[in-house]
């Protein structure tokens, strides 16, 4: 049997297929063209079926975090200092990076939010970077909610960043004699959160003791941050480093808040390699990478990690 | 035999191509405007990654193994992939010939090339070399699928001229993609659909459907006067005049070779199911492959 298809019939079939197909998909709820902001689930272990904090993205708003992880917007707002904004539910994780960023040798950004959410939910999450910090306000909120033990608070000390507002009394330590005291830097400008680099140098941050284990959505094994006594004992007194912000050492080839493109080029990385990471022409060499990311609306930590990998 | 004046079929095809080109352009502009609060009415504002059917293809491995899609790809891409596959089973790569805006833009530039180079247009590449180069796109397809599966990232966007074409003003397009777009547009002045012929991984995949599609381009040998008008009309340089059924992997079902358009003899080159040879006495055995000119 022969069946001829003329051009106008073909057009009808093409357009009809697309219109009916897309319409049907919409009716069935399959026509999704934007991220639903649904975090991946942990697939194995004690936390199987729960949303994985590791999958929290910079684009997630506080509202998205509440939906995914059950952390109330008000708690997040209090933890990250957004109590004075009209609608904190719209604050994105990457906004926190823009507000705080690198402070001394610690960084408050999306990974800090992941860590906070993990501590709130009790889901194990080893921060992606040693430099990941956690605000004193966040620890205060967690402690007040009974989400942290004293041991956990002590273990978090190496990551602690004290805000200017808490200058006179560190919430993480004021009422807790077991927590080493922390203070803000003398040189801090008014209104600018300051990192206290206290008690960071002598602490091995890479050894969280696993109380429970599971497999994250990215396939990596995750472990809880139960406290290691040895870590607590090795934590140095805050006074040792309180007034001495750590230098931005380019010699370590680490990208930090003040690192410029020129410093990355000085590693021996080519401009072409950098542009490949950026996906666009490199700005003038003296441009601070973090400032450029903020201006371009990019997540600094993502760009930083990609550039870091270029290190010869 | 004098060339036919522009047929209704050609105008119809150009019209449909321009509609899809306009639609994608508006969607892309709308997406760019979405953060400003300004919106073009009646047009959505998804990212082009979210509505690219090839995104569904490169996500398949991850979808099967982890149940998730590659970053930036969304469910709509999988829906479109299925719809385009359905059309391809029936008619081959009609998506390439009638819908793909990247193909349309190349064809529009090619019209200028035709005016500049006349008969030399689309015949600059030696046929033997051209034949080999046309398999390059399968290499690109394998590379894209493999790298996407292993990295779980939309790696092709770094070199994708389609994404670059509709986003070059956003500052989000990698330099490599802009360079490939530029080269593609320049090459379109000399070669019809150069990216489709030599590099498009999606075209490569859809081209495979030409082997078993239900409705094929068929030539009636009994009425064919062997004027080769079909060969000259084919943008993909396929030798239709030596085939009874065109199964060449680069056919895009544009219908430019058919009796509606280039072929001067009615009912001689047609898009059809079934076969002319079944009823024509003395018809030759059906050829299963049309070579490129």
Query: What SS3 state is found at B95?
Result: helix
Radius of gyration in angstroms for the set of CA atoms belonging to chain B, rounded to a whole number: 20
Q: Where does the pLDDT of residue B35 fall: very low under 50, low under 70, confident under 90, or very high at 90 and above?
A: low
Give the Cβ contact number of residue B186 at 10 Å: 11
Q: How far is CA B48 from the centre of its chain?
A: 18
> Which residues of chain B are within 8 Å of residue A34 when distances are taken between CB atoms?
46-47, 50, 74
Phi and psi angles of residue B183, each rounded to the nearest 5 degrees, phi first: -65, -40
Q: Where does the pLDDT of residue A164 fall: very low under 50, low under 70, confident under 90, or very high at 90 and above?
A: low
Mutation site for B-interface testing, chosen from A20, A28, A34 by largest number of B Cβ within 10 Å: A34
Q: Where does the pLDDT of residue A170 fall: very low under 50, low under 70, confident under 90, or very high at 90 and above?
A: very low
Mean pLDDT of chain A: 72
Most confident of the ranges A61-70, A222-231, B36-45, B133-142: B133-142
> Which residues of chain A are within 8 Å of residue B67 when distances are taken between CB atoms?
none
Report, as an integer, the average pLDDT of B81-92. Answer: 97
> Which residues of chain A are within 8 Å of residue B215 when distances are taken between CB atoms?
3, 5
Nearest to B175 among A11, A25, A275 (CB): A275
Mean pLDDT of chain B: 89
Q: What pLDDT sits at residue B184?
A: 97
Domain boundaries, chain B: 8-32+43-209, 215-293
Nearest to A18 among B83, B253, B273 (CB): B83
Nearest C-alpha neighbor of A142 from the set A175, A112, A168, A172: A172
Nearest C-alpha neighbor of B49 from the set B131, B121, B153, B187: B153
Q: Of A19-28, A147-156, A243-252, where does mean pLDDT reach its minimum? A: A243-252
Q: What pLDDT sits at residue B285?
A: 41
Mutation site for B-interface testing, chosen from A10, A19, A29, A54 by largest number of B Cβ within 10 Å: A10
pLDDT over 70 (residue B59)? yes
Most confident of the ranges A109-123, A144-158, A162-176: A109-123
Query: What SS3 state is found at A108?
Result: strand
Å from B50 to nearest chain A CA? 5
Q: What pLDDT sits at residue B261?
A: 94
Q: What pLDDT sits at residue B169?
A: 85
Phi and psi angles of residue A239, each rounded to the nearest 5 degrees, phi first: -65, -20
Higher pLDDT, A170 or B85: B85
Phi and psi angles of residue B270, each rounded to the nearest 5 degrees, phi first: -140, 155
Q: Scanning every residue of chain B, which has its alpha carbon at the shortest distance from the alpha carbon of A7?
A: B9
Cα angle A129, A135, A138 (rounded to 5 degrees) comes to 115
H/E segment holding residue B244:
none
SS3 readout for B146-206: HHHHHHCCCHHHHCCHHHHHCCCCCCCCCHHHHHHHHHHHHHCCCCCCHHHHHCCHHHHHH
- Dihedral in degrees, nearest 10, Cα atoms B273, B279, B280, B286: 40
Alpha helices (H) along chain A? 7-28, 62-69, 73-79, 93-99, 110-121, 136-144, 150-156, 229-234, 261-266, 271-278, 289-296, 300-308
**Interface contact flag, B273 A1, Cβ < 8 Å:** yes
Query: What SS3 state is found at B218?
Result: strand
- Length reported for chain A: 312
Tell me the C-alpha distance between B268 and B149, whole Å.
Answer: 45
Å from B249 to nearest chain A CA? 20
> Which residues of chain A are within 8 Å of residue B46 when distances are taken between CB atoms?
33-34
Query: What SS3 state is found at A223?
Result: strand
> Which residues of chain B are within 8 Å of residue A15 when distances are taken between CB atoms?
16
Tell me the C-alpha distance between A77 and A99, whole Å.
Answer: 13
Q: Of A273-282, B196-205, B228-237, B276-285, where does mean pLDDT reach its minimum? A: B276-285
Q: What percent of chain A has pLDDT over 90?
A: 21
**Longest CA–CA separation in chain A, Å:** 92
Q: Of A246-250, A266-270, B129-133, where does mean pLDDT reach its minimum? A: A246-250
Report, as an integer, the average pLDDT of A199-218. Answer: 36
| CB of A276 closer than 8 Å to CB of B174 | yes
Q: What are the angstrom distances between the C-alpha of A34 and each of A55, B46, B48, B280?
A: 17, 6, 10, 54
Higher pLDDT, A187 or B152: B152
Q: What is the ipTM of this complex?
A: 0.91
pLDDT over 70 (residue A272)? yes
Report, as an integer, the average pLDDT of A251-276. Answer: 79
Q: How far is CA A310 from the centre of its chain?
A: 21
Phi and psi angles of residue A135, each rounded to the nearest 5 degrees, phi first: -70, 150
Q: What pLDDT sits at residue A142?
A: 93
Buried b / exposed e along A193-218 (16+ C-beta atoms within 10 A): bbbbbbbbeebebeebeeeeebbbbe
Most confident of the ranges A142-151, A249-258, B115-124: B115-124
Q: Where does the pLDDT of residue A253 fall: very low under 50, low under 70, confident under 90, or very high at 90 and above?
A: low
Q: What pLDDT sits at residue A165?
A: 54
Mutation site for B-interface testing, chosen from A23, A32, A216, A217 by largest number of B Cβ within 10 Å: A32
Query: What SS3 state is found at B217?
Result: strand
Hey, is the C-beta of A40 within 8 angstroms of any chain B C-beta?
yes
State both tokens at B181. Answer: 């777009």
Nearest C-alpha neighbor of B162 from the set B53, B2, B57: B53
pLDDT over 90 (residue B271)? yes
Tell me the C-alpha distance between A50 and A37, whole Å.
Answer: 15
pLDDT over 90 (residue B69)? no
| CB of A15 closer than 8 Å to CB of B16 | yes
Tell me the C-alpha distance between A96 and A80, whole Å.
Answer: 7
Q: pLDDT by residue (tens digit) across B142-199?
A: 999 999 888 878 888 889 999 999 988 887 788 999 999 999 999 999 999 999 999 9
- Length reported for chain B: 293
Mutation site for B-interface testing, chosen from A31, A33, A52, A94 by largest number of B Cβ within 10 Å: A33
Q: pLDDT by residue (tens digit) across A72-125?
A: 999 999 999 998 888 898 898 888 888 888 888 888 988 999 999 999 999 989
Nearest to B175 among A5, A7, A281 (CB): A281
Q: Where does the pLDDT of residue A263 fall: very low under 50, low under 70, confident under 90, or very high at 90 and above?
A: confident
pLDDT over 80 (residue B277)? no
Higher pLDDT, B99 or B291: B99
pLDDT over 60 (residue B106)? yes
State both tokens at B55. Answer: 């995104």
Å from B125 to nearest chain A CA? 31
Q: pLDDT by residue (tens digit) across B217-269?
A: 999 999 999 999 999 999 999 999 999 999 999 999 999 999 999 999 999 99
> Which residues of chain A are within 8 Å of residue B87 when distances are taken between CB atoms?
13-14, 17
State both tokens at B229. Answer: 């008008």
Q: pLDDT by residue (tens digit) across A19-42?
A: 999 999 999 999 988 777 778 888
A213-215 and A44-45 strand pairing? antiparallel
Q: What pLDDT sits at residue B5?
A: 52
Hey, which residues does A31 pair with through a beta bridge?
none
pLDDT over 80 (residue A217)? no
Higher pLDDT, A311 or A200: A311
**Interface contact flag, A280 B173, Cβ < 8 Å:** yes
10 Å CB burial of residue A263 (0-12, 13-18, 19+) is buried
Tell me the C-alpha distance between A306 and A304, whole Å.
Answer: 5
pLDDT over 80 (residue A209)? no
Q: What percent of chain B has pLDDT over 90?
A: 67
Most confident of the ranges A221-235, A290-304, B61-75: B61-75
Hey, is the C-beta of A38 within 8 angstroms of any chain B C-beta?
no
């Amino acid at each position: 049997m022969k069946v001829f298809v003329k051009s106008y019939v073909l057009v009808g079939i093409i357009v009809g297929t697309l219109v009916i197909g897309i319409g049907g998909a919409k009716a069935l709820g399959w026509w999704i063209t934007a991220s639903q902001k649904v975090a991946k689930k942990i697939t194995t272990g004690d936390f199987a079926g729960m949303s994985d904090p590791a999958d929290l993205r910079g684009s997630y708003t506080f509202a998205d975090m509440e939906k995914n992880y059950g952390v109330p917007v008000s708690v997040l707002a209090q933890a990250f200092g957004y109590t004075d904004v009209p609608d904190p539910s719209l604050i994105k994780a990457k906004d926190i990076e823009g507000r705080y960023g690198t402070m001394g040798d610690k960084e408050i950004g999306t990974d800090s939010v992941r860590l906070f959410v993990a501590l709130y939910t009790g889901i194990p999450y080893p921060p992606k970077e040693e430099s990941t910090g956690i605000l004193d306000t966040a620890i205060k909120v967690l402690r007040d909610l009974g989400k942290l033990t004293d041991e956990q608070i002590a273990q978090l000390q190496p990551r602690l960043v004290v805000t200017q507002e808490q200058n006179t009394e560190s919430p993480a330590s004021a009422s807790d004699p077991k927590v080493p005291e922390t203070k803000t830097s003398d040189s801090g400008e008014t209104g600018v959160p300051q990192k206290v680099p206290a008690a960071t140098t002598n602490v091995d941050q890479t050894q969280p003791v696993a109380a429970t284990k599971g497999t994250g959505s990215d396939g990596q094994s995750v472990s809880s941050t139960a406290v290691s006594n040895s870590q607590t004992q090795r934590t140095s007194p805050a006074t040792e480093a309180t007034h001495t912000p750590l230098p931005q050492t380019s010699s370590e080839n680490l990208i930090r808040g003040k690192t410029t493109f020129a410093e990355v080029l000085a590693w021996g990385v080519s401009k072409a390699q950098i542009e490949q990471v950026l996906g666009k022409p490199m700005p003038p060499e003296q441009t601070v990478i973090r400032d450029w990311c903020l201006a371009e609306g990019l997540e600094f930590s993502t760009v930083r990690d990609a550039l870091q990998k270029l290190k010869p | 035999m004098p060339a036919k004046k522009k047929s209704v079929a050609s105008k119809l095809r150009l019209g449909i191509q321009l509609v899809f080109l306009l639609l994608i352009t508006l969607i892309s502009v709308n997406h760019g405007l979405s953060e400003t609060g300004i919106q073009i009415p009646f047009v959505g504002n998804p990212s082009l990654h979210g509505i690219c059917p090839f995104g569904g293809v490169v996500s398949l491995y991850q979808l099967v193994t982890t149940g998730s899609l590659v970053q930036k790809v969304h469910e709509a891409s999988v829906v479109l992939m299925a719809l385009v596959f359905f059309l391809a089973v029936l008619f081959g790569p009609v998506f390439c010939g009638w819908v793909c805006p990247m193909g349309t833009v190349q064809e529009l530039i090619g019209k200028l090339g035709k005016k500049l180079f006349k008969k030399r247009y689309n015949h600059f590449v030696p046929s033997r070399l051209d034949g080999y180069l046309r398999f390059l796109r399968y290499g690109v397809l394998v590379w894209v699928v493999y790298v996407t599966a292993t990295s779980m990232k939309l790696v092709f966007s770094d070199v994708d001229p389609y994404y670059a074409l509709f986003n070059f003003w956003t500052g989000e397009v990698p330099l490599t993609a802009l360079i490939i777009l530029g080269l593609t547009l320049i090459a379109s002045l000399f070669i019809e659909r150069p990216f489709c012929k030599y590099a498009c991984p999606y075209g490569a995949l859809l081209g495979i459907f030409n082997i078993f599609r239900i409705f094929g381009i068929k030539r009636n040998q009994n009425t064919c006067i062997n004027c080769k008008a079909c060969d000259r009309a084919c943008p993909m340089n396929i030798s239709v005049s030596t085939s009874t059924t065109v199964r060449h992997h680069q056919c895009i079902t544009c219908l430019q070779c058919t009796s509606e358009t280039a072929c001067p003899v009615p009912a001689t080159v047609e898009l059809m199911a079934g076969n002319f040879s079944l009823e024509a006495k003395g018809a030759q055995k059906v050829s299963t492959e049309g070579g490129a000119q």
